[in-house]
């Protein structure tokens, strides 16, 4: 079942979907979609096989963001990339998109990173989102002193693409691999 098929069934009223505010995305209730698929002899396995992990990049520095984005585009069969330029925009997009992985480069110009992580992990629908932080040594020490947030990984600048790849693989396999405090 493709995205186009789901859109067609939504337009025909066969699958109930709500449009999200601020975007053109449609939100389909998973239980209703599974019921529809069962009624129409469509294997639910197709959802898992065709699903890409959504990665939300919250990286204010354009050169750094381009580096990560280009890497993820090269891995496009595995990932869908979304950009949340700064902390506030990133929070909004995280709430709308419910990404599997959030790459957060700190410091953020408009929001405290600890506050951002606490808010994200405090929302039940985002509890399973994995957070990878990119920071310099001073920011890492500050984060460790101020929070007990559980993260997937912390990458120290400068970040190599190999360490980023390993962090992505780890985030897909495990619940938590790094805990502050």
pLDDT level of residue 177 (50, 70, 90 thresholds): very low
Alpha-carbon gap, residue 177 to 175, rounded angstroms: 7
According to the model, what pLDDT value does residue 29 have? 79
Delimit the CATH 3.40.50.2300 region(s) of the chain.
53-179
Alpha-carbon gap, residue 151 to 84, rounded angstroms: 19
Alpha-carbon gap, residue 59 to 164, rounded angstroms: 14
**154-169 burial string, b = 16+ CB within 10 Å, else e?**
bbeeebeeeebeebbe
C-alpha distances (whole Å) from 128 to each of 94, 116, 157 are 12, 15, 25
Q: 53-179, superfamily in CATH?
A: Response regulator (3.40.50.2300)
Question: At 104, is the secondary structure helix, strand, or coil?
Answer: strand
- pLDDT tens-digit map of 28-78: 877 888 888 888 888 777 666 556 889 999 999 999 999 999 999 887 778
- pLDDT tens-digit map of 104-124: 999 998 888 888 888 888 888
Instruction: Determine contact, residues 26/18, Cβ cutoff 8 Å.
Output: yes
- pLDDT tens-digit map of 2-20: 556 777 888 888 888 877 6
């Amino acid at each position: 079942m493709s995205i186009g098929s789901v859109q067609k069934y939504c337009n025909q009223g066969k699958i109930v979907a709500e449009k999200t505010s601020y975007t053109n995305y449609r939100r389909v209730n998973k239980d209703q979609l599974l019921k529809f698929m069962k009624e129409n002899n469509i294997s639910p396995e197709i959802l898992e096989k065709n699903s890409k992990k959504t990665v939300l990049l919250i990286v204010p520095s354009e050169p750094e963001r381009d580096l990560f984005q280009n890497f993820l585009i090269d891995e496009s069969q595995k990932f869908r990339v979304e950009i949340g330029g700064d902390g506030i925009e990133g929070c909004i997009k995280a709430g709308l998109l419910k990404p599997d992985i959030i790459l957060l480069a700190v410091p953020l110009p408009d929001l405290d990173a600890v506050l951002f992580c606490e808010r994200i992990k405090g929302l039940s629908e985002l509890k399973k989102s994995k957070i990878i932080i990119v920071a310099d040594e001073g920011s890492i020490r500050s984060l460790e002193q101020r929070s007990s947030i559980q993260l997937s990984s912390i990458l120290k600048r400068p970040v190599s693409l190999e360490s980023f790849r390993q962090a992505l693989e780890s985030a897909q396999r495990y619940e938590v691999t790094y805990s502050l405090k």
